[in-house]
Amino acid sequence: MAHIHLPDGVLPITWVAFYWLISLALLGIVAFYFRRTGKSIEVKTLSVAGVATALAFVIFQVEVPVLGGLHLNFTPMLGILVGPIIGSVSAVIINILSSAVGHGGWGPIGLNFLINMVEIVVAFSIFVFLFRRRRVLPFIAALVATLIALTVSNALMVGAITVSGIQGVEGVEELQNLLLLALINEVAAVVESIVTGFLVAFLAKVKPELLGGSKIEES
């Protein structure tokens, strides 16, 4: 949802490098985790991650002709299904493939990955707290987790672009455009949260074991 579709050369190169460095550091942590615990990850979890990643990538490319064009991405759903570690790998794949087909430049991948990681981690944490520990209905737990995750990532996107600046755009004009974008993204967040809630509620009925795919990361 909160995805930066800017082409290369729009964000200052120093900030592009900064976001990439943070992203690579996080991926290093993920690689270290896999090296230590990769053998204990269930094949079922990896299979779910593969299917969910493919589905998220396809949906990511579909634009809804509302308010100038919206799209869903379902990265919070990845967090709910497979957790933040495996979900982070999915986020990298989705961003690289999206840039390869022209859905944004290569430079912003670093920042987009950070935004997606926030969505995945926040959605996972809130869903685990509400659904597994507080026994909240899966629809409500997933809806709340997704909405909060997307709202936080929306704020992160606006803040990051405000701090970085967009080359060739005046500050006032940039702020106005960002506020409008944030409002549009929040509308998309509500839609995605409802859809995610229904999907998770459906899975809880027909395949409840799929919602336990991230046990390793919770323990």
- The pLDDT value given to residue 192: 93
Asked whether 177 and 185 are in contact (CB, 8 A), the reply is no
How confident is the model at residue 8, as a pLDDT? 86
Sequence spans of domains, the chain: 13-218
| pLDDT at residue 120, as a whole number | 95
103: closest CA among 143, 63, 131, 51?
A: 63
What pLDDT, in 10s, does the model give residues 143-195? 999 999 999 999 999 899 888 888 766 655 667 778 888 888 898 899 899 99
Contact 100, 165 (CB under 8 A): no
pLDDT at residue number 208: 86
What is the reported pLDDT for 17?
96
Neighbours of 204 (CB within 10 A): 17
Cα distance between residue 128 and residue 55, in whole Å: 22
pLDDT < 50: residue spans in the chain? 213-219
Per-residue 3-state assignment (H helix, E strand, C coil) for 122-189: HHHHHHHHHHHHCCCCHHHHHHHHHHHHHHHHHHHHHHHHHHHCCCCCCHHHHHHHHHHHHHHHHHHH
Q: Cα(71)–Cα(111) distance, rounded to whole angstroms?
A: 18
- Would you state the pLDDT for residue 19? 95
- Alpha helices in 10-166, H assignment, sequence order: 13-37, 43-60, 75-100, 109-127, 138-164
Alpha-carbon span 92 to 117, nearest angstrom: 9
Question: Is the CB of residue 218 less than 8 Å from the CB of residue 121?
Answer: no
Given 1.10.1040.10, 1.10.10.10, 3.20.80.10, 1.10.1760.20, which CATH number is that of 13-218?
A: 1.10.1760.20
pTM flag (> 0.85): yes
Name the amino acid, one letter, at 148: I
